[in-house]
Amino acid sequence: QKPFDYLIVGSGLYGAVFAHEAQKHQKKCLVIDKRDHLGGNVYCEAVEGINVHKYGAHIFHTNDKAIWDYVNRFVTFNRYTNSPLANYKGDLYNLPFNMNTFYKLWGVTSPQEAQEIIASQTKKYQVKTPKNLEEQALSLVGEDIYYKLIKGYTEKQWGRKAVDLPAFIIKRLPLRFTFDNNYFNDTYQGIPIGGYNKLIEGLLKDVVCKTGVDYFLDKTHWDQMADTIVFTGKIDEFYGYCHGKLEYRSLRFEHETLDQPNYQGNAVVNYTDAETPYTRVLEHKHFEFGKQNKTVITREYPLEAAAGNEPYYPINNAKNSDLYKKYKAMAANDEVIFGGRLAEYKYYDMHQVIAAALSKTKSLFGS
């Protein structure tokens, strides 16, 4: 008889929701995480009373009322609305592209004037099949928006010239002809009051958790702890990279505490020129309307996917998709449950990963 029903490797949202639901159904769970804290990428570190999003800005948004109600059972969410700014060579523009952006770019005050300018700028780029990302973007939004607000940012993000990037990376570039700076279209949006750790603590209350332990360093020991393994780490690592390594884009975060109450007046400012080496500056207190005397900012630098770098964004090209299929086929013949962004090699927003974990537990334990 093993001491636990489930060993859950990874305490991110997938692992935490799975553990919560399993425990609700009288299953004994043990959660382990190799990091020295729980919560995976939504973890916040308290600095000067400010919840610092240690692994990048996390803004919760969903259209699914059931998911919104679910997370609000553990912590109340505030009414934060994501309305990022773009800084291009010192000039500020509103994002997503909307009438405020067009007013700043061209001085236009009516949707019709903005539409006419965009039509005149995109006309000559209406080729049948854009050969690369640059051609694709120019055909969708025209020169001004592309050169000021897209090109530099995208090239920094991917570490490659836009003419060397495939067109499919940008499928659509939404243009809004209203004065609306709300980045997301979802009905529900916000940040947990007191930070994401409250959500994770609520989910993992009463669950046995161990941090600072890497499953692979003593796999045999951990496998003996439970009847079933739920694995939320990297699927290629689970199978010893036997088919090769899945690729990820990574980021480097540079956190800084400043002795001033307000640095940039907004939670997120994107730097869209090519010269500034970082892509974004976050000012964390604004996620929770903080009034502290100091402030904490984070500069976000894009990083090549390389050994040792945190895997953040799956690179969904043909090579990686084929590779993932091979691992998925192996997983299909395994007793282990694979879930979450690393095990499914999939970009999941928070609401989606919660929905995926709830769907899995529902199939196992009923609602």
Choose which of 52, 59, 86, 133 interacts with ligand FAD (CB under 6 A).
Answer: 59
State the catalytic residue, choosing from 73, 322, 334, 347: 347
172 in active site: yes
Q: Closest separation between CB of residue 198 and ligand FAD, Å?
A: 15
Per CB under 6 A, 12 contacts ligand FAD: yes
Strand partners, 228: 6
Per CB under 6 A, 203 contacts ligand FAD: no
79 in active site: no
Burial class (CB in 10 A: 0-12, 13-18, 19+), 291: exposed
Tell me the C-alpha distance between 281 and 269, whole Å: 5
Per CB under 6 A, 104 contacts ligand FAD: no
Q: Which of residues 223-242 bind ligand FAD (CB under 6 A)?
A: 232-233
Q: Which is nearer to ligand FAD, 84 or 130 (CB)?
A: 84
Burial class (CB in 10 A: 0-12, 13-18, 19+), 120: exposed
Burial class (CB in 10 A: 0-12, 13-18, 19+), 4: middle
Q: Which is nearer to ligand FAD, 60 or 93 (CB)?
A: 60
- For 345, other C-beta atoms within 10 Å of its C-beta total 24
Pairing verdict, β 226-231 and 50-53: unpaired
Helix residue ranges per DSSP H, the chain: 13-24, 65-72, 99-106, 111-122, 133-141, 143-145, 151-158, 196-204, 219-223, 235-238, 318-332, 350-365
Strand partners, 10: none
Tell me the C-alpha distance between 75 and 205, whole Å: 13
State the catalytic residue, choosing from 271, 300, 324, 327: 300
Nearest to 252 by CA among 215, 278, 224: 278
Tell me the C-alpha distance between 60 and 80, whole Å: 9
State the catalytic residue, choosing from 249, 273, 299, 313: 249
Q: Which segment (5-13, 118-126, 191-199, 239-247) binds ligand FAD by CB under 6 A?
A: 5-13
Binding mask 290-329 for ligand FAD (x = CB under 6 A): ----------------------x-----------------
Q: Which segment (30-38, 107-115, 196-204, 273-281) binds ligand FAD by CB under 6 A?
A: 30-38
Q: Which is nearer to ligand FAD, 120 or 347 (CB)?
A: 347
299 in active site: no
Per CB under 6 A, 349 contacts ligand FAD: yes
Nearest to 9 by CA among 205, 200, 225: 225
Per CB under 6 A, 273 contacts ligand FAD: no
Choose which of 282, 353, 355, 358 interacts with ligand FAD (CB under 6 A).
Answer: 353
Q: Closest separation between CB of residue 109 and ligand FAD, Å?
A: 32
Tell me the C-alpha distance between 343 and 9, whole Å: 11
Binding mask 240-259 for ligand FAD (x = CB under 6 A): -----------x--------
State the catalytic residue, choosing from 172, 206, 275, 335: 172
Tell me the C-alpha distance between 191 and 197, whole Å: 11
Give the residue numbers marked as catalytic.
Answer: 172, 176, 249, 280, 300, 347, 349
The contact set with ligand FAD (CB under 6 A) reads 9-15, 32-35, 40-42, 55-60, 214-216, 232-233, 251, 312, 340-342, 348-351, 353
